[in-house]
Structure 1
Amino acid sequence: MTGRSRGGLAAALAVYLVALTLRPAQTSVGPVLGDIGADLGLGEGALGLLGALPLLGFAAVSPLVHRLSSRWGAEGTLLAALAGLVLGVVVRSWTGAPGLWLGTAVIGATVAIGNVLVPVIVKRDFPDRIALATGAYSAVIAGSAAVGAAVAVPLAAAGTWRLALGVWAVPFAVVALVWWLRTRVRHDAEATVAEVDLAHSSVWRSATAWLVTGFMGLQATSFYVLVTWLPTIEASFGVSAHTAGIHLFVYQMVGIVGGLLIPFVMRPASQVGAAVTSTLFITVGTAGLLVAPDAVVAWIVIAGLGSGASLVMALSLMSLRGRTPSETTQLSGMAQSIGYLLAAVGPVAAGVLAEATGSWTPTLILLLAFAAGQLVVGLAVGVDRRARL
């Protein structure tokens, strides 16, 4: 293996290690929420806010990442975020009730930086394989999210909820060390990127940027509504809580498969086919839950494939539609800020709608409306309009 090949492999490994840190700190919370509430005397409303706080952090911090990376470079900014993530995990787990809230807020803010910058680094380091690289790191994100949720209860049983959440500080610190080594290698290149960053106008005035943002927001909202409420929706069909929990795990895991497969549908000049394919899977799965709930497993698998494919599609569009690392950083920050804000509001709105109507049918119809909107946006954004960005 040549030195250049080894360097490329090391770069890929480092990016995927960072991807491992972007979800477990959040997904490990849900399974032990009851333990947290019992220990600290928190009610369901407070626990619901605790679960939504990272998403609100994503929305608030994402637009600021461009300025941070312009000053410190992508590598340096991401290193600071990883260090902050380790600190946030420790504070959340081991400093009492105030630390629970403060640490969770820090986790949301630091993960937001990783969410924005990883697509930028993928575009810069793998310009000829953006879709495949995006599918791979999205699979890593999804897999680590599932692991975080799966091991939380056994770890809490072996110790407490603090152990279940705090244990992640150790692997995150290892990733931060690896990234620090990479930062030393990339220092000179980052200075050039930072200079370019200052030369471009805001993407907030770009029609193409709003289309990318719309696609990101619609797919994220559908995903988080189903992740939050799918077990409850299934309960209304007569499915047991245990079985519904397994189905939710299946929904997330088949998303990995969808994310890995959708790059093969993308084309260099147009991603319309990929946008339509990913959206149709979501549409068919949601419609199936509505009209034929007895085949719930089939619809969950189909919807999960579409969800994973849509996430990779959205992340790839951020890289493909940005002409430079600077523009990609701005676009990623914009799309993820609004996207995760919608994702935070979506489950709340879905729950209110179900409570007001006494049925989950209106919520499923709402998800179909989201899918229809995603299809329209996908048809428009799938054509490369970077000259207009």
Structure 2
Amino acid sequence: MARATGFGYGLLAAILLVGLNLRGSIAAVSPVLPDIRADLHISSATAGLLTSLPVLCFALGAPGAAWLGRRLGIYRALLVGCLVIALATAVRPYAGVWLLLAATVVLGLAMTVGNVLMPVAVKRDFGSAAGRITGVSTASLSTGAALAAALTAPLAGWLGWQDALAVWAVMAVVAAAALAGPAAREHRSPASVAPRRHGEGAKLRTSPVAWAITAFLGLQSVTYYAVTAWMPTLLRDIADLSLADAGVAMSLFQVLGIPGTLLVPALIHRGRDQRALGVVIGAGWLVVVLGLVLAPGLWLVWCVTGGIVQGMGISYAFTILVLRSADGHVAARLSAMMQLLGYSVGASGPFLVGLIQGATGSWILAMVPLWIAAAGLVVAAMVAGRDHLVRA
């Protein structure tokens, strides 16, 4: 399955363990957000930053993550990223709002290393299986988020919200241990992530497909992170759910992302053109974000649909990145570009929803940015999904 590097299934296991840590600590915040706001006396807009800040870091840290991969090698860089995730996760709940926000920034930057380098590692080391492995590795992101969403609230009832957030550091330590072998065996050449070639950036910037892939990730991120941040609060406000039931709703939304991510690799290789699949994902998001506020009594339907759609959306974005890249050089550059610009857009989602809802008291008005983003996903998919390779 992997090319002749001697990494084999141990490498795949390490990549999947890294994926578990790239969303979990973000998803863990939402179930205990009312407790955090009550204890730290923070506004809706500030609470939204706890989800927006890591996503903004995904954008701003993307070039640095690519540089770190070139400097250290992919697996050593991923190892460093996991150790920093463990440290930031362990310390962030314990010293007030400023440490919470500062550690959240560090956490986001460390996660960015995995965001940028995982697709490059898969493209480089798994050959013709790269598309399918991308789907499986993306499912690990949803799995980590689902575990955090499902278990943080019960842990908070037992340990308190601070310990319930900090305990997720253990998962990052396990991933770091799994990376030790691949990191030690990796060649010391700095070309693990290829150096920039003359004119390559300009070609990416003039490629409509590269821009459409970037837009798809950005708009998917707007909807996913905003819903992740605010769904429990929204359902408590307008569907009259209890804290426990709102936590179940969020858990369901995250858990169903796992089969959603696995659907994409099963469907995406049925043809060379993936536009129809992308349009279905965009339309599904539009139904969900409309349904949550216009028919909140059907919250179970929207949680189920949204869970499947969000898993499909992130899997589609990263699988299209791999499929449309002509080689590993292009995959590295396109991964950095789409995450720099895409997550810059995505970071606005939780903050905008919190800002509008706090200013107007209306969840309908607060969801308008998500309706626009869902419609934009349909447009982006029509370009990103067409059969065309992005070349250096």
| Fold match by TM threshold 0.5 | yes
User: What is residue 263 of structure 1 aligned with on the other side?
Assistant: 265
Q: Distance in 2 between matches of 1:8 and 1:222?
A: 36
Q: Report Cα offsets for 1:231-259 as digits up to 9, x if no partner.
A: 44445643323433322222222222221
User: What is residue 241 of structure 1 aligned with on the other side?
Assistant: 242
The answer to whether the 8 A contact 2:2-2:8 is kept is no
Q: Say whether 1:313 aligns with 2:316.
A: yes
* Aligned residue type for 1:275: G
Q: Distance in 2 between matches of 1:30 and 1:361?
A: 20
* Aligned residue type for 1:180: A
Kindly state the Cα deviation for residue 112 of structure 1 after the two structures are TM-superposed.
1.0
Q: Distance in 1 between matches of 2:166 and 2:237?
A: 35
Kindly state the Cα deviation for residue 49 of structure 1 after the two structures are TM-superposed.
3.1
* Aligned residue type for 1:306: V
Q: Distance in 2 between matches of 1:118 and 1:276?
A: 26
Alignment of 1:6-155 (within 5 A): 7-33=7-33, 35-36=35-36, 41-44=40-43, 46-93=46-93, 99-155=99-155
Kindly state the Cα deviation for residue 289 of structure 1 after the two structures are TM-superposed.
4.2
Q: Which runs of 5+ in 1 are unaligned?
A: none
User: What is residue 250 of structure 1 aligned with on the other side?
Assistant: 252
Q: Say whether 1:174 aligns with 2:209.
A: no
Change (3 A) 1:289 1:102: closer
Secondary structure of the residue aligned to 1:43 is coil
Secondary structure of the residue aligned to 2:197 is coil
Q: Distance in 2 between matches of 1:193 and 1:5?
A: 13
User: What is residue 299 of structure 2 aligned with on the other side?
Assistant: 296
Q: Distance in 2 between matches of 1:25 and 1:91?
A: 12
User: What is residue 287 of structure 2 aligned with on the other side?
Assistant: 284
* Aligned residue type for 2:119: P
Change (3 A) 1:284 1:26: closer
Change (3 A) 1:152 1:251: closer
Kindly state the Cα deviation for residue 319 of structure 1 after the two structures are TM-superposed.
1.7
The answer to whether the 8 A contact 1:64-1:333 is kept is no
Change (3 A) 1:104 1:296: closer
Q: Say whether 1:216 aligns with 2:221.
A: no
* Aligned residue type for 1:321: R
Change (3 A) 1:236 1:105: closer
Q: Distance in 1 between matches of 2:182 and 2:234?
A: 45
Kindly state the Cα deviation for residue 19 of structure 1 after the two structures are TM-superposed.
0.9
Q: Say whether 1:323 aligns with 2:326.
A: yes
User: What is residue 206 of structure 1 aligned with on the other side?
Assistant: 207
Q: Distance in 1 between matches of 2:97 and 2:143?
A: 30
Kindly state the Cα deviation for residue 363 of structure 1 after the two structures are TM-superposed.
4.4
* Aligned residue type for 2:89: V
Change (3 A) 1:381 1:237: same
Q: Report Cα offsets for 1:309-359 as digits up to 9, x if no partner.
A: 111000112222222323222222221222222222123323444456654
The answer to whether the 8 A contact 2:149-2:254 is kept is no
* Aligned residue type for 2:329: S
* Aligned residue type for 2:262: L
Kindly state the Cα deviation for residue 48 of structure 1 after the two structures are TM-superposed.
4.0
Among the aligned pairs, what percent are the same residue? 33
The answer to whether the 8 A contact 2:330-2:390 is kept is no
Change (3 A) 1:184 1:275: same
Q: Distance in 2 between matches of 1:192 and 1:366?
A: 41
Between 63-72 and 30-39, the greater mean CA deviation after superposition = 30-39
Kindly state the Cα deviation for residue 28 of structure 1 after the two structures are TM-superposed.
2.5
The answer to whether the 8 A contact 2:210-2:390 is kept is no
Q: Distance in 2 between matches of 1:98 and 1:292?
A: 38
Q: Distance in 2 between matches of 1:237 and 1:98?
A: 31
Q: CA RMSD in A?
A: 3.1
Q: Distance in 2 between matches of 1:240 and 1:94?
A: 29
Residue 372 (structure 2) aligned to one of 365, 369, 372: 369
Secondary structure of the residue aligned to 1:129 is helix
Q: Which has the higher helix share?
A: 1
The answer to whether the 8 A contact 2:79-2:180 is kept is yes
User: What is residue 343 of structure 1 aligned with on the other side?
Assistant: 346
Secondary structure of the residue aligned to 2:347 is helix
Change (3 A) 1:218 1:87: same
Change (3 A) 1:192 1:237: closer
Kindly state the Cα deviation for residue 115 of structure 1 after the two structures are TM-superposed.
1.1
Q: Distance in 2 between matches of 1:58 and 1:3?
A: 29
* Aligned residue type for 1:318: L
Secondary structure of the residue aligned to 1:197 is coil
Q: Distance in 2 between matches of 1:22 and 1:7?
A: 22
Q: Distance in 2 between matches of 1:225 and 1:187?
A: 40
Secondary structure of the residue aligned to 1:386 is coil
